[in-house]
Structure 1
Amino acid sequence: MHTGLPEFDMPADEQVDLAAESFRMLADPTRIKVLWALLQGESSVACLAELAGAAPTAVSQHLAKLRLAGLVTGRREGTFVYYSAANDHVRSLLSQALFHADHVDRDIPADATTPHAHSPSPANRTGPPRTSD
């Protein structure tokens, strides 16, 4: 048994598996774009497809996976479904991933705390959704 780190605490396997699944969901550029758009506010498949530069059918499949992973939620209004980011954990996770990418891409020291240039503002939309499918 390793004794060099007396305060070491390994997360439970179930927690590690769930975290790995969340990272798998972020391992696709289209999903990152879709989630980023949803952090700006509720949106439809058609609008998300346009914003992400992807086909609506592909975006719909990505949303289904993100929904199963608990990263997005859907709200039905008539025949339309409007999606949003599930919670602020998604905002934090994605912002940190992009912040890390900035550090790697720009060779910024790891201890630099400059905020990410693309930090989304909280979605405070009270009006109608952006578009419909």
Structure 2
Amino acid sequence: MANPNPAETEQCAVQHPVNLNNIRFLHRDLLSVEKSQRMAEFFSLLGDANRLRILSALAVQELCVCDLAAAVKMSESAVSHQLRALRSMRLVGYRKQGRNVFYSLKDHHVLNLYREVAEHLDEEE
């Protein structure tokens, strides 16, 4: 039988009373159930490699669907589908210019999030 995962079996060695001051302090910054659910959906949306590639292109410049599709080597239909999902979580925005629609990252928060994660992954261990 395999050894159990230590993180799953780890408990306090000695039972002690809960420190209510710590708990009260923590509650000020603890995520609400609703916000944690929204964040989980947000990060789940980012769990798709194609969406991340689209974000990486938009981190460089504003693009129309046809240019995005060529850049990430996907069909325009597939890119449009991914953009709808990204728009639903307010990660990308768009503007119309005549018959063309141009997409960009919604704001600096999205760009910073993308850059921070990319930088974190490039760090040596």
TM > 0.5 = yes
Match of residue 82 from structure 1: 102
- Higher helix proportion: 2
Matched, 1:3 2:19: yes
Match of residue 5 from structure 2: none
Matched, 1:17 2:17: no
Q: In 2, Cα distance between the equivalents of 1:29 and 1:5?
A: 43
Deviation at 1:21, TM superposition (A): 1.8
1:42 to 54, 59, 62: 62
Q: In 2, Cα distance between the equivalents of 1:63 and 1:79?
A: 18
Secondary structure of 2:59's partner? helix
Q: Runs (4+) of structure 1 moved beyond 4 Å?
A: none
Higher relative contact order, structure no. (Cα contacts within 8 Å, ≥ 6 residues apart)? 1
Pairwise CA RMSD: 2.0
- Percent identical among aligned pairs is 31
Matched, 1:51 2:67: no
Distance 1:32 1:3, change over 3 A: same
**CA radius of gyration, larger in:** 2
Deviation at 1:81, TM superposition (A): 0.8
- Relative to the length of structure 2, the TM-score reads 0.74
Q: Structure 2 regions of 5+ residues with no counterpart?
A: 1-16
Secondary structure of 1:40's partner? coil
Deviation at 1:2, TM superposition (A): 4.8
CA deviation profile, 1:77-112 (whole Å, cap 9, x unmatched): 222211010001111111222223224xxxx23xxx
Q: Structure 1 regions of 5+ residues with no counterpart?
A: 110-133
Farther-moved stretch of structure 1 (36-45 vs 94-103): 94-103
